[in-house]
Structure 1
Amino acid sequence: MEADNECLTYSLAILGEAAVAQTARTSCLTYAGFLPRLLPAPQALLRISRPDRLSTFPADVIGYHSGNLRHTLGLIPTLLLKPELLNRFHVQCLRIERASKSQEAVVTAATFGPLTLLAIASFLLFVGLVVFAIYLGDGMALLALALLGSVSIIAHIGLYHRIDLAEYKDKNRSLPKSDVVIVYPNGSFQIVSCNEEIARKLFIEPEKCVYKIRSADLYRALAMLATLMLMFGVICLANAAPRLQFAFACVLVALNAAHWIVAALPEHRHWDLRTFDVKPTERWATERYSQALWTLIASTGTTRWVKSAKIAPDNQAWDAWLNEAQDHLVPGKIPVFKNKIMVEPLWDCQAALSRLLSEYEILDDTPSLHPPRTNIQDEKPTGEAKSDEPESVKEKPLI
């Protein structure tokens, strides 16, 4: 029975890695992480290397004035823009500005967010276990608590960092417009109006994670030390009194559930992004990709960025369609929709595309790199095969 309890305690001490890893990056931005506490699956924080930047998501980010082009969207703009709320072929316009010109644009974890509250709750449970171990006089439990509580502190020291956004160096001159178009894999689009400073910080230049401990070798040494302390802490925990092991198990079950709930929350709940002011301005719902693309072209006033970013199929029909779209543009005219149909500027983009696809249709008799497969029945000889070659060209048998 005691062996079963030891196995259960060990399993609870290392389970829950997915939930801890989901919020590990954000939790390491908070001061509350320096509190000694129990962590379910602390091995999720003890990696060999540390990432230099935040995670990215697949999307085409195009500066249609500046000509900048990237094929990924960073975590911070994703949290600000919330593209998951857009349906397929929807087009949304937004404006991003600094909330205060006197305040530097910074990004950090929420001061009193769910992760901070979870760290404080874990610390209080840790203190409760220490008091209970002292009351029972269980030295092995106290040693296990000292080791496991130190693991969380060492892991946080090694991963504690700040996020540095790119700086716009030429601050003395007026900032030019640097609006961007974002094309998502699901066929939704966003047009973001911003200046050059915001575009560099959020879309063009990647952010940097600046760690408090900059030496990679020192970080690996700390991670190895924390790993050894974790192993010895689990051994000491397995030799604690049964009542302490039961208390540990209850705390670890509660912490696993709490970490899972916190990890399942929308990620923007964990961040402090108040230095950016995001204002949605327009939103249009279209039914086809060509209609959404025409909406973007009419809003930006040019087709040049479509060709440079190659977000339209590369063939003659679409090239002709883009040329016609350029001819129908009205400079400075905001698209006007009625019943999901653009009435200004007036152009039936779908009918034009159908006409051009028929005009440039690839016929069946067009030569291909791969010849059509011959029917096997046609290959069976029905008699002596006749040759179309003249008698003088036929190969003569060797004697």
Structure 2
Amino acid sequence: MSWFPIGPDDSGGWRLDIVGLLAVTGESFIHDQAEAITSSATCLLPRLMPAPQALMRARRPVALESETAKVCGVYSGVTMDTLGFFANLIHPLDELAPFSFKVLRIVYTADLVTVRRGEAVDDLDNGGETPRLRRAKTVHGALSNFTSNSPLFESANKDVGAVLYSPLNIVAFSSFLLTIGLVGAAAYWNDGTALLGIALISLSTSIIGWAGWWRTDIRSRRSLSKVPDGDVVIRSREGAFILVKCSEAIALELYAGIQECHHRIQARAYRIFMMIGALCIMPAVVLFGNCTFNMQILVGASYMILNLVYWLIGILPRRYHWDLSRYTVEDITPVDARNAHTVTDENDPHEGMRSFTRTLWFVIRETKRTAWVVRSGSAPSTPQWRAWLDEAESAAYKTDRKWRAVRRKDEIMVMSSEELSRAQTTHGN
């Protein structure tokens, strides 16, 4: 007798009846990427996909998930407790080290498009407006219609969808081709059971994908009146800060607005499609367990490979799946603040050590304001802290970048009420 079964012999060989369960495993991989999968039209492709039931939800999400963080407008005064989905893709909070600090400038990509007149100098020597210059002006004019200064701004270029060649889209199309190959193999071996099972599971994937298909709608400012800048400060739970310099329109889209999910079918139809999809999955699992041994090997191997691929995709940063080309992001963190999360001078127990106070001072130094600190709860509301904030704002306004913020905080914290009052009087004078 052999220690291991040999061949697909029913009397003691390999049996792969459990292969149907592979079709519904890997639910966590699919659930974590459900929004990205159903945001693209590739979700409509009939194909093998691990655990398509992971896309079935009793209630469809009405808004994209947000990250817990304190977000405060430097000039607007608007304060929120969550960071929007797309904002967290642009600058992920989980990539920030404790007490780190970044200054980012975010602008509309379309606003950066300019007519480079130098390219048309030679043509202009001939007199008149050349076709090249006319084309440049036409492109620039068309793109400018999608900027915050355009009357069309309230409805133009609002959608931020999946990248055409994102990893999920590539896998979706590849699995579609794989499914066609399995159908051909089932037909070659005259395996009607496998053929019907593949057809049902592929149909369920397409139906469920159609039911969950959605698009984004980023709320934009409708009024074209002059408003202050939309700079915002984001504070993570670990004490890291991001200062975003942007227009009020971008601040509304990424930070103050709600990034909604607009589903393409109505809620009642959604429930019907979910039911149909579930009814297709159940018999498909049974059929996979009763197809021929060769098809069980192919189907089982296909699902194992797909599970591995979706697991690997889950490791990638989420921003790889989304088209954020609407925005251009530039890191403009000052050189003397880039190492806020590290020890810069071991001989200086105050300014050389990483601390929340030092990082907070770096942010105040760039914003030249402290009202946002109070509104966001980034500092205690004690008399000592209020005195320190007053001095920090004054030093920032005077562009005193070498002000010893941490040492001064330590001095103020041990002051008595009388000493604090005298210090505030001296500071005010």
Question: Aligned partners of 2:393 and 2:221: how far apart in 1?
Answer: 33
Listed one character per residue, the Cα deviations across residues 28-80 of structure 1 (whole Å, up to 9, x for unaligned) are 12122211101111110111111111111111111010011111101201111
Matched, 1:293 2:344: no
Matched, 1:264 2:331: no
SS in 1 for 2:110: coil
Structure having the larger proportion of residues in helix:
2
Deviation at 1:23, TM superposition (A): 1.4
CA shift in 2, pair 1:121/1:52, >3 Å = same
- Give 1:1-399 correspondences, 5 Å limit: 5-101=15-111, 102=143, 103=146, 104-171=157-224, 173-213=225-265, 215-283=266-334, 284=337, 285-286=339-340, 287-330=354-397, 333=399, 344-359=400-415
Q: Is the 8 A contact 1:316 1:360 kept in 2?
A: no
Question: Aligned partners of 1:326 and 1:251: how far apart in 2?
Answer: 62
Question: Aligned partners of 2:393 and 2:281: how far apart in 1?
Answer: 64
Q: Is the 8 A contact 1:93 1:282 kept in 2?
A: yes
**Structure 2 match to 1:388:** none
Listed one character per residue, the Cα deviations across residues 155-189 of structure 1 (whole Å, up to 9, x for unaligned) are 11111111000121103x34531110111111111
Superposition TM-score, scaled by structure 2 size: 0.77
CA shift in 2, pair 1:260/1:53, >3 Å = same
Listed one character per residue, the Cα deviations across residues 190-210 of structure 1 (whole Å, up to 9, x for unaligned) are 111111110000000111100
Deviation at 1:20, TM superposition (A): 1.1
Letter in 1 for 2:247: N
Structure having the larger proportion of residues in strand:
1
Over the aligned positions, Cα root-mean-square deviation in angstroms equals: 1.9
Superposition TM-score, scaled by structure 1 size: 0.83
State which structure, 1 or 2, has the greater radius of gyration over its C-alpha atoms.
1
SS in 2 for 1:209: strand
**Structure 2 match to 1:336:** none
Letter in 2 for 1:228: L
Listed one character per residue, the Cα deviations across residues 76-95 of structure 1 (whole Å, up to 9, x for unaligned) are 01111234443222221111
Question: Aligned partners of 1:157 and 1:5: how far apart in 2?
Answer: 35
Deviation at 1:240, TM superposition (A): 1.1
Letter in 2 for 1:216: A
SS in 2 for 1:100: helix
Q: Is the 8 A contact 2:30 2:51 kept in 1?
A: yes
Deviation at 1:11, TM superposition (A): 2.5
SS in 2 for 1:70: strand
Which consecutive unaligned segments of at least 5 residues does structure 1 have? 334-343, 362-399
Which consecutive unaligned segments of at least 5 residues does structure 2 have? 1-8, 112-142, 147-156, 341-353, 418-429
Q: Is the 8 A contact 2:366 2:396 kept in 1?
A: no
Deviation at 1:4, TM superposition (A): 7.6
Listed one character per residue, the Cα deviations across residues 139-168 of structure 1 (whole Å, up to 9, x for unaligned) are 111111111000110111111111000121
**Structure 1 match to 2:351:** none
Listed one character per residue, the Cα deviations across residues 92-127 of structure 1 (whole Å, up to 9, x for unaligned) are 111111100423353110001111110111011101
> How many corresponding residue pairs?
348
Letter in 1 for 2:387: A
Question: Aligned partners of 1:281 and 1:82: how far apart in 2?
Answer: 17
What percentage of residue pairs aligned between the two structures are identical? 31
Q: Is the 8 A contact 2:235 2:241 kept in 1?
A: yes
Deviation at 1:317, TM superposition (A): 2.3
Question: Aligned partners of 2:160 and 2:46: how far apart in 1?
Answer: 25
Q: Is the 8 A contact 2:17 2:288 kept in 1?
A: no
Letter in 2 for 1:353: K
